[in-house]
Amino acid sequence: LILAGAIPAALLAIVADVVLGAIENRLRVPRK
């Protein structure tokens, strides 16, 4: 159950990170 819940969560985290990174690149907003 832990792995079944952890794997999708990890995938969602990776997808979210990529999407946010793409948005930031388009907006050209420095992260720091």
Tally of residues, the chain: 32
Structure token pair of residue 19:
């999407």
Query: How many domains is the chain partitioned into structurally?
Result: 1
Query: Coil, strand or helix: which one is 15?
Result: helix
Q: Which domain holds residue 18?
A: 1-32
Residue range 1-32, pLDDT digits in tens = 678 888 889 999 999 999 999 998 898 866 66
Q: What is the pTM of this model?
A: 0.58
Structure token pair of residue 3:
């792995």
Q: Mark out the alpha helices in the chain (DSSP H runs).
A: 2-27
